[in-house]
A and B are shown apart, each in its own frame.
Chain A
Amino acid sequence: MERRTIFAGWALPAAFVLPQLLLTIFFFLWPAGEAIYGSLTRQDAFGIKTQFVGFENFVDLFTDPLYVESAGRTVLFCAAVSFLSMGVALLLAVFADREIAGRGFYRTMLIWPYAVAPAVAAVVWLLLLHPQIGMIAHGLKAVGVDWDYKINGGQALLVVVLASAWKQVSYNFIFFLAGLQSIPRSVIEAARMDGARGWRRFRTILFPLLAPTTFFLLVVNLVYSAFDTFGTIQALTQGGPGKSTETLMVKVYRDGLVNQDLGGSSAQSVVLMLGIVALTVLQFRFVGRRNSS
């Protein structure tokens, strides 16, 4: 049954909605509008003159090999982070779903990293992987790996992928665990009676029944890795060495705030915004379809 509250006037409902509206206006609509306007203009080096240039910034963007390269790098980064964080989370969730001693403790511990701020998480990984003082770095060097992510671009990318994925594992874990627990026990028992064990049972029963959760998480993780990892990357590598960890988000920051190309940076923001819109629409359509069936 649908629950509806009927208000006598419009003042009270308006007052309820107002705070959220204000937040949306000041923190989303206004800056987004500025970005769209900015993406259509170009400023001189001193910020004195602003000139309207139409879609020139966008044309420049898509013809810039550095931008295309960064886009490719971002796709790789997002795929790696999503795959790694979801894979590890699923594995942990499958184990946590079993009846094991101390699983309450185990589950709580797994949820903690989600509460850690990106910069703090980055520092933790920095301390572990730092070429001179990192524990893991020492171990790697001891077994003959030439570890220095401050020079080696591939290693730097690996570091930011690891740190970003680690932070998202908790979130994915919670959803996967909830998804697993909502699968009726009797269906799993029926599969056991039918002779399905271990990996086969997972592949043919559990994983297909987790598909809605997996799809939801895939979208969330893509959004996270594309847009929410700036803090982690900035704290770990600042997009370097060179441009080897410069994702689109880092590039917006570098071009706009470091290199002061406000028009070009705004155009990049608008492109990213469209990306978010597309992913959100995809998510809503899918969730909507699932609920109506």
Chain B
Amino acid sequence: MAGLVLRDIRKSFGSVPVLHGIDLELASGEMLVIVGASGCGKSTLLRLVAGLEEPTAGAIELDGRDVARLDPAERDIAMVFQNYALYPHMSVFDNMAYALKIRGLSKADIAARVRETGEMLGLGPLLDRKPRQLSGGQRQRVAMGRAIVRHPKLFLFDEPLSNLDATLRVTMRAEIKRLQRRMGVTSLYVTHDQVEAMTLGDRLLVLHKGRAVQLATPMEVFERPADTYVAGFIGAPAMNFLPGVLSHGGTAVTLDLGPVLVFADGRRAVADGTRLTIGIRPENIAADPDGLELQVDLLEPLGSETVVIGRLPNGELLSVKVPKAEAPTERMTIAFPAAHLHVFTAETGLRLDP
């Protein structure tokens, strides 16, 4: 198995730049999830690695060999497409055997490998069917099988679960993770779904407008988002943001709402008066009889928990996640625990650590 290195990958379509220099290093056997909103360039990045598009500049090294200008046929990379892209005129067996035939394997070898992979994915009884006779989940499996059977150097997944219904998506997500672990193939997985991103990735790459905003483990991205974009993108319901200014010699923030919050993790080394954006996740906001008043606007029961969307005294919306039993009906009073504050510079949106 091979590692993948991207060096300063740039891509423009005509005069429109889509990727502004992406650097990335994947260890052998690692699963990296590229996540971002639509139009952030994540699919383009995947297609560049696949060889379906040519980068405007930069190098793509697979196993130490620059493949950026090679035809996909010479890269030994397998890809699972969003709409599966099965060959409609071929049986499941032939779909999986296609790449092996092209590589000139013997008939017996091909049959053995296809059957082995088919068994592994539970496709055994379906090998003679045509794609149109399969359900969405089965097609998804065939698409996976077609990639696995090749034993490629690299797996690419282009939002492979987005056409499945919610239940199936959860099952397949777990299955993909299990398979990837078992095969130990280096993988790039593109998705806009943050749950997929959090659960599948060894590491996450968050893309925003063609730039890599953060590259870290899922928990680190969640706990220490690099900027307000990542903070708002990862986590559901989304993080709340409150404006304020740095005060008390860098040790506290005075919210525009009034309260002063002392940082739990220490002094920020910039001048008092710097505009800040304070982030706090809905599940970290605590009920506090002496706290700020929140007028309930909307309740979203999720089962064991309820999301309260309420209005602060200044009219701004704020969401709070509370246990079901504690859900208010009209108003509640809240406080922002110092341990859970995320501090960002208002001007740049970047995280400001002690």
- Contact bitstring A177-190, B, C-beta under 8 A = 1, else 0: 00000001011011
Bound CA span A167–B103, Å: 42
Which of B14-22, B81-89, B106-114 lies at the interface? B81-89
A193 and B87 within 8 A (CB):
no
Report which residue of A187, A194, A200 has the largest number of chain B beta carbons within 10 angstroms of its beta carbon: A194
Task: Kindly provide the distance from the CB of A109 to the nearest chain B CB, expressed in whole angstroms.
Answer: 25
Task: Kindly provide the distance from the CB of A226 to the nearest chain B CB, expressed in whole angstroms.
Answer: 30
A187 and B73 within 8 A (CB):
no
Interface assignment of B204: CB less than 8 Å from any CB of chain A: no
Choose one: A186, A192, A204, A211; the contact of B73 (CB below 8 Å): A192
B50 and A191 within 8 A (CB):
no
Select from chain B the residue with minimum beta-carbon distance to A194: B99
Q: Which residues of A contact B50 (CB under 8 A)?
A: 189, 193
Task: Kindly provide the distance from the CB of A208 to the nearest chain B CB, expressed in whole angstroms.
Answer: 5
Known: A186-B81, A204-B98. A192 touches B87 (CB 8 A): no
Instruction: Give the contacts of B189-214 with A (CB-CB under 8 A).
Output: none
A196 and B85 within 8 A (CB):
no
Q: Which residues of B contact A186 (CB under 8 A)?
A: 81-83, 85
Task: Kindly provide the distance from the CB of A185 to the nearest chain B CB, expressed in whole angstroms.
Answer: 9
B72 and A184 within 8 A (CB):
no
Q: Which residues of A contact B87 (CB under 8 A)?
A: 187, 190-191, 205
A193 and B88 within 8 A (CB):
no
B73 and A190 within 8 A (CB):
no
- Contact bitstring B72-108, A, C-beta under 8 A = 1, else 0: 1100011101110111110000000011001100000
Q: Which residues of A contact B79 (CB under 8 A)?
A: 189-190, 193
Bound CA span A190–B131, Å: 15
Choose one: B82, B83, B86, B102; the contact of A195 (CB below 8 Å): B102
Q: Which residues of B contact A191 (CB under 8 A)?
A: 87, 98
Interface assignment of A197: CB less than 8 Å from any CB of chain B: yes
Select from chain A the residue with minimum beta-carbon distance to B73: A195
Task: Kindly provide the distance from the CB of B14 to the nearest chain A CB, expressed in whole angstroms.
Answer: 12
- Contact bitstring A197-225, B, C-beta under 8 A = 1, else 0: 10010001100110100000000000000
Bound CA span A95–B311, Å: 61
Interface assignment of B300: CB less than 8 Å from any CB of chain A: no
B98 and A193 within 8 A (CB):
no
Bound CA span A184–B81, Å: 12
Task: Kindly provide the distance from the CB of A98 to the nearest chain B CB, expressed in whole angstroms.
Answer: 14
Q: Which residues of A contact B99 (CB under 8 A)?
A: 194-195
Known: A189-B52, A190-B79, A204-B98. A195 touches B72 (CB 8 A): yes
Known: A195-B73, A196-B73, A197-B71. A189 touches B85 (CB 8 A): yes
Q: Which residues of A contact B102 (CB under 8 A)?
A: 194-196, 200
B71 and A209 within 8 A (CB):
no
Choose one: A194, A195, A209; the contact of B89 (CB below 8 Å): A209
B83 and A184 within 8 A (CB):
yes
A197 and B98 within 8 A (CB):
no
Report which residue of A186, A191, A195 has the largest number of chain B beta carbons within 10 angstroms of its beta carbon: A195
- Contact bitstring A144-181, B, C-beta under 8 A = 1, else 0: 00000000000000000000000000000000000000
A193 and B103 within 8 A (CB):
no
21 A/B residue pairs, CB under 8 Å, sorted by A:
A184-B83, A184-B85, A186-B83, A187-B85, A189-B50, A189-B81, A189-B85, A190-B79, A190-B81, A190-B85, A190-B146, A192-B52, A192-B73, A193-B52, A193-B78, A193-B79, A194-B98, A194-B99, A196-B98, A196-B102, A205-B87
